[in-house]
């Protein structure tokens, strides 16, 4: 039996005490070399797999957002960032007191929003829109977007369907 991190015992014996048959010595040594090579290849594959999976482990969920309640508000776009890892838009929303609140609303990745009909040119500063989504629970002016309704009435889903992933 071959020990995975070292040569087989019979390989050591073969090297130290050659048998009468040179052919069996060579076959034994080759077999040990192949076993070690396979182990090292498997170990390297596992390390590579873990390294490429690490960003997936690091990614966050939409924690801190009130996922039980959906909010709707109208505002004016002041910025639109159609970039990775998430699409973000900034807008000015006038509250019931007539005060302007600076809101940030985020959606999924650009590729996911593109599948729902979005492009980098969908929104421009000055556009009047209605945003629908989940407010963050800490009281700041942030929202996880579900959909956006443009001034012409066109609805754009952020996740491809009504309320999220």
CATH number at 95 reads 2.40.50.1010
- Structural domain including 30 reads 9-58
Q: How many domains does the chain fold into?
A: 2
40 and 92 fall within a common domain? no
Whether the pLDDT of residue 7 is over 70: the answer is no
75 and 48 fall within a common domain? no
97 and 144 fall within a common domain? yes
Sign of torsion over alpha carbons 132, 128, 94, 112: positive
Look over the chain and give the mean of its residue pLDDT values, rounded to a whole number: 81
Q: Is residue 63 part of a domain?
A: no
Q: Is residue 2 part of a domain?
A: no
| pLDDT for the residue 27 | 60
118 and 151 fall within a common domain? yes
105 and 137 fall within a common domain? yes
Whether the pLDDT of residue 1 is over 50: the answer is no
| pLDDT for the residue 80 | 97
Is residue 113 within 8 A of residue 119, CB to CB? The reply is no
Q: Is residue 165 part of a domain?
A: no
Q: Is residue 51 part of a domain?
A: yes
Highest mean pLDDT: which range of 25-29, 43-47, 59-63: 43-47
Whether the pLDDT of residue 2 is over 70: the answer is no
76 and 152 fall within a common domain? yes
Q: Is residue 97 part of a domain?
A: yes
Whether the pLDDT of residue 61 is over 90: the answer is no
pLDDT tier, 70 (very low <50, low <70, confident <90, very high otherwise): very high
Each residue of 94-136: pLDDT tens digit? 999 999 999 999 999 999 999 989 999 999 999 999 999 999 9
Verdict on whether the full-model pTM lies above 0.75:
no
80 and 146 fall within a common domain? yes
User: How far is 108 from 130, CA to CA, in rounded Å?
Assistant: 18
């Amino acid at each position: 039996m071959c020990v995975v991190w070292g040569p087989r015992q019979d390989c050591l014996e073969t090297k130290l005490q050659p048998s009468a048959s040179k052919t069996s010595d060579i076959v034994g040594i080759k077999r040990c070399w192949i076993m070690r090579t396979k182990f090292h290849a498997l170990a390297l594959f596992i390390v590579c797999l873990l390294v490429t999976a690490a960003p997936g482990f690091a990614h966050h969920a939409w924690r801190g957002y009130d996922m039980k309640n959906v909010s709707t508000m109208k505002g004016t776009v002041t910025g639109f960032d159609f970039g990775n890892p998430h699409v973000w838009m900034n807008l000015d929303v006038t509250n019931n007191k007539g005060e302007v609140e600076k809101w940030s609303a985020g959606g999924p990745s650009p590729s996911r929003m593109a599948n729902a009909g979005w492009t980098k040119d969908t929104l421009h500063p000055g556009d009047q829109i209605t945003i629908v989504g989940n407010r963050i629970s800490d009281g700041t002016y942030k929202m996880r977007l579900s959909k956006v309704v443009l001034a012409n009435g066109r609805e754009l889903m952020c996740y491809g369907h009504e309320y999220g992933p």
